[in-house]
Amino acid sequence: MRIVKYPHPILRYKCKPLRKIDQTIRDIVQEMFDLMYETQGVGLAANQVDLPYQLIVINPTGDAQQKDKEVVLINPIILKLRGNEEGEEGCLSFPDMRLIVPRARECKFQAIDLKGQVVNYHWKGFDARIVQHETDHLSGVSFFQHAVASNGDLETQLLKLQVKFKEDLKNGLEPTEEQFLESVKKWEEERA
């Protein structure tokens, strides 16, 4: 498992609801948490690891030792947003990029947990920012699309990532559009 980088096509993909929670999904969740901690993140959406499903892992502390802070969100739905504030965000799919992004200060949402139970949440501040960032990923929206400021020239930063992706594509390190679509089709057939 690896984190895909912009402009990988799956980052624009509208993820499908997850219909079945089994040991495969539990294993994927553990791998996602491990990768998130390894890369010093606080949240990770499934499409960031090349999986086309509505699945998010979050630990606002970013500390692997604080397992009690881990949250798994399956098929999350934002119910209500309140307030507005700007804050700095980074994204594991956009290395070294820091942007100022407006988000709601409070977020009420619902998701299914790993036990298959529907859980309601009401998060504020940084936690609310994380869930909004990650649910955007599941809709194929990246944080730069909301940004009002950056730590450098945004266009130049995105161009550098595009050039790197094209080099990796040419060297067979990234999937072609056809390979990506075939991978999505396979996953959808396996999870149906």
Q: Is the dihedral of CA 182, 184, 185, 187 positive or negative?
A: positive
Smallest CA-to-CA distance from 59 within 76, 75, 78, 40 is with: 40
Q: How far apart are CA 171 and CA 28, in angstroms?
A: 27
Distance of CA 80 to the CA centre of its chain: 20
Structure tokens at 100: 């100022």
Q: Please say if 188 is a catalytic residue.
A: no
Amino acid identity, position 35: L
**Annotated active-site residue in 31, 70, 106, 134:** 134
Residues tagged active-site: 134
